[in-house]
Amino acid sequence: MSEQATTVLLISGPNLNLLGDREPEIYGSETLDVHVATATRAAERNGLTLNHIQSNHEGELIEAIQQARHSAGSIVINAGAFSHTSWAIHDALKSFDGPVVELHLSNPAAREEFRHLSVIAPVADGTVAGFGNLGYDLAIDAVARLLKQK
């Protein structure tokens, strides 16, 4: 596989920079750095390289997805609250050819009504939700398996 094909882009959306501090009873006490370290180890275990970007800005997330068309073979995305609203992120992901896994720390389906709709889900191969830090392992393993199936 080429360098692009073996690169996984992990995208973290708004407010995920506050993990550790933010509603730990829902999101856990781990910081985003801890989750990125878990994802990095999972990628290495699968012979992949992880790149990570976090932004609170929708446009920056869209630009990262557009750039990934030329620099990454797969995407794992926790778009935070944009998961429920951003048709622009939906459209950007639609233009990406490789595997896409949607990721959430919490289980949005078991929370407030407004979190039940994901506009990312229809353009993802699948969703990992509700497993906290373990989800980062599962999501990277999922893209690794999808890449092997290709």
Please identify every residue annotated as catalytic: 27, 104
Q: Which of 115, 121, 137, 141 binds ligand DQA (CB under 6 A)?
A: 115
**From CA 96, how far away is CA 81, in angstroms rounded?**
21
Q: Identify each DSSP E strand in the chain by its residue range.
A: 7-12, 49-54, 74-78, 100-104, 126-129
Site for ligand DQA in 61-80 (CB under 6 A): 78, 80
Q: Which of 6, 15, 56, 85 binds ligand DQA (CB under 6 A)?
A: 15
Per CB under 6 A, 81 contacts ligand DQA: yes
| Closest CB 43 distance from ligand DQA, rounded Å | 19
Phi, psi of 19 (to 5 degrees): -55, 145
Residue (97 or 112) nearer to ligand DQA, CB: 112
Q: Which of 83, 86, 127, 139 binds ligand DQA (CB under 6 A)?
A: 83
Question: Which of 105, 100, 90, 104 lies closest to 25, judged by CA?
Answer: 105
Per CB under 6 A, 52 contacts ligand DQA: no
| Closest CB 106 distance from ligand DQA, rounded Å | 3
Eight-class DSSP state of 89: H
- What token pair was written down for 106? 């919490």
CA distances from 115 to 66, 107, 110 (A): 25, 9, 9
Which residues of the shown chain bind ligand DQA in the complex (CB under 6 A)?
Answer: 15, 78, 80-81, 83, 104-106, 108, 115
